[in-house]
Amino acid sequence: MKKMAVIGLLLLAACGRQDAEGSSDTVANAAPGATNIAKAVDLVPADAMLAAKYDRSCRSCHSTPDAAAPLTGHEAAWDIRFSARGADGLLASTKSGLNAMPPMGLCNDCTDDELTQLTSFMAGRTN
């Protein structure tokens, strides 16, 4: 039980407050509303394997506004990041870690393709 509590604390600490790419004015204009928050809680990738990786590695930070990570499905927040860094830049940031996000976004067994798919899913850029 203690081990699970420690793991939970580490996951929440990994979320932390982050500086977003782009100007603070632009990011403030993309603050999530109630609809974005509700959407982030419910979304999961259609692919079962990606859904499992999302649930254990991404969801804890990308489904709650308190984590200061861009919410899953909040396209305006993700568009700012894609505009600033591009898909390759976001992949590089995910792999190396950015601000409070740990390297690999806590998905140490994810391939580059899976990380790209997860980022695209969270950004609402999947078909």
- Tens digits of residue pLDDT in 2-57: 444 434 444 444 554 444 444 444 554 578 889 999 999 999 999 999 999 999 99
Tokens 């860094």 belong to which residue? Answer: 85
Query: What are the residue boundaries of the structural domains of the chain, listed by start?
Result: 2-14+24-123
Prediction pTM value: 0.78
Q: Residue 88 in 3-state DSSP?
A: helix
Of residues 76 and 21, which shows the higher confidence score? 76
Question: Could you tell me the two tokens for 24?
Answer: 């603070």
The backbone torsions φ and ψ at residue 97, rounded to the nearest 5 degrees and listed phi first, read 95, 150
Per-residue pLDDT, 4: 41
CATH code of domain 2-14+24-123: 1.10.760.10
Please classify residue 64 by burial: count the beta carbons closer than 10 Å to its beta carbon, then call 0-12 exposed, 13-18 middle and 19+ buried.
Answer: middle
Give CA angle at 31 (92, 57), nearest 5°: 40
Residues of the chain with pLDDT > 90, as a percent, come to: 69
Instruction: Please give the structure tokens belonging to residue 83.
Output: 């505009």
